[in-house]
A and B are shown apart, each in its own frame.
Chain A
Amino acid sequence: MSHVTFTLLMALLISGAVALPGDRSGRERVYSAAYTFLVCVASIVGGGWLMYLVHG
């Protein structure tokens, strides 16, 4: 399994877990999970490019 695949799996796990706490409706939880997952993916891509620019 490549680092990218594992990182995406972790992002999926974190998104699901972060959506579970609190008093929210099912729809809110789905939105929250989707939002967190997209933010994670954006951070992974952004961080990857940043490291590429810093280290080459």
Chain B
Amino acid sequence: MRPAVKSPRTARSVPAAALAVFGWLVPGGGYLLIGRKRQFALFLLLVSTAFAAGLALHGGNLWPQPDELQGLDGFTTLLAQAGGLVKGLAGGPYLLARLFDYSQGFLQGRLHEYGTMLLVMAGLLNLLALADSWELRKAER
């Protein structure tokens, strides 16, 4: 009879759905689930810092309203909407900001643009971490 060996938590034991949800909610969380703590810590720091700086600069986090899109061509409208969607990819920080009633539409001004750009960047970085942890999970199986 073979002895029962308690295997460590490996990438194989992480369900894809859990990785997707946790990786979205906690910035870089996908790395934590597959046991890559250093990458998790770095992405958590990067995404949270970018998001916090975006909030500090009053970046817009709301879906663009029709009056804000007035006068824009189709492609620019699409970009503005994509930007609105991408901010949500930051996951936990985005939900926390909404929970604490941070709601900022698009404002004219350089600092607000910087803030909005940082919020978009935070979402994209979290997406990068999620995609990479997904790929690493597949590679380690």
Contact = CB atoms under 8 A, between A and B. Distances in A.
Contact of A17 (B117, B125, B139): B125
Interface residues of A, number: 13
A24 B4 CA distance: 34
Contacts of A13: 46, 50, 121
Contacts of B117: 6, 10
Given A10-B117, A13-B46, A16-B46, A21 B39 contact: yes
Interface string B27-68: 000000000000100110010001000000000000000000
Interface in A8-39: 10, 13-14, 16-18, 20-23
Interface string B110-135: 10001001000100010011011000
Chief secondary structure at chain B's binding surface: helix
B43 to A, nearest CB: 7
Q: How large is the interface on B (under 10, 10 to 19, 20 to 34, 35 or more residues)?
A: 10 to 19
Contacts of A6: 114, 117
Nearest to A17: B125
A10 B42 CA distance: 17
Contacts of A22: 132, 136
A44 B131 CA distance: 27
